[in-house]
Amino acid sequence: MNFQALNNYQAGSVRKGFQIDQYFKWFFSTIRKPDELVSVDKSFGFISMGIQALLMSLVVFALGDEFLKSFIYIFNSFFNQNESYFDIHGGFSLFSGLLVISIIYFGIYMITGWLCKKLFVNQEITIDSYVNQLASYSNVAIVIEIALIILIMASRPVVHGDTLSYKAVFKFFKNLVFFVILLSNYWNIAFIASIVIEKGKSIRDRMYGAIIGVMVSGSAVYLLMKIVLNMTKKSLD
């Protein structure tokens, strides 16, 4: 029996478990001090981005699969009780589509930010190093997204017959808008910081890189949303 191979396998298994612990150590350290960049595993940033994409999909799914279905039911009933003017597909197909869109969304920012930083700030930076830096600044967004999911599930307006409580709807959307604005603003700040913050470069170069990064990623996301809306419109026709 090859005891050396067995020992190597066991050591490798321990190291894999240790990496999980290391990820959570790094995650909580970035929550406390996001500006303190440390040497971490190349995959940590991608893991955080994947978690953010998953949580963002759950946020939209919680809205779309529950509240929007109730609202659409009332809308259809108001115009014609026997015919559906508008409908959405729920369940796994809805969540899968949202997850793909979220992955593309975050992928746009990761690639755009990395290219802009490489072009204007640091030509030596690799994409995994950049994504680790972006994740270290944006990990707080994971906490915000979890809070947003809890808010949606806890304060979602309930349909009674064919009526909705307008006060409940107003309170729901007021809280929802607050969290969405908070999440959006924090993400934009984290994205800009991931491009701008680098030693040895002038502020002008950093700002040019950040501005172009925001413009390019914003335009790409706009095109993505336009494609999704066109596909949705065609499926409803």
Structure tokens belonging to residue 139: 């990990």
DSSP letter string, 136-205: HHHTHHHHHHHHHHHHHHHH----BTTB--HHHHHHHHHHHHHHHHHHHHHHHHHHHHHHH--TT--HHH
Q: Is the pLDDT of residue 18 over 60?
A: no
Q: Is the pLDDT of residue 112 over 90?
A: yes
Q: Read off the pLDDT of residues 191-230 as tens digits, 9 standing for 90 and up.
A: 888 888 876 555 556 655 775 777 787 778 778 877 877 7
Residue 110's pLDDT is 95
Q: Is residue 76 part of a domain?
A: yes
Give residue 168's identity as a one-letter amino acid code. A
Residue 37's pLDDT is 64
Q: Is residue 23 part of a domain?
A: no
| 102 vs 204, residue with greater confidence | 102
Q: Is residue 140 part of a domain?
A: yes
Q: Is residue 21 part of a domain?
A: no
Distance CA 136, CA 28 (A): 10
Q: Is the pLDDT of residue 141 over 50?
A: yes
Grouping H, G, I as helix, E, B as strand and the rest as coil, residue 145 is helix
* 192: nearest Cα among 120, 137, 132: 137
Give residue 23's identity as a one-letter amino acid code. Y
How far is residue 120 CA from its own chain's centroid? 25
Work out how many domains the chain is built from and give that number: 1
- Cα–Cα distance list, 150 to 121, 145, 161, 185 (Å): 39, 9, 25, 20
Q: Is the pLDDT of residue 2 over 80?
A: no
Q: Is residue 183 part of a domain?
A: yes
Grouping H, G, I as helix, E, B as strand and the rest as coil, residue 163 is strand
Q: Is residue 35 part of a domain?
A: no
Q: Is residue 13 part of a domain?
A: no
The model scores a pTM over 0.85? no
Q: Is residue 27 part of a domain?
A: no
Domain that holds residue 83: 41-236
Q: Is the pLDDT of residue 153 over 80?
A: no
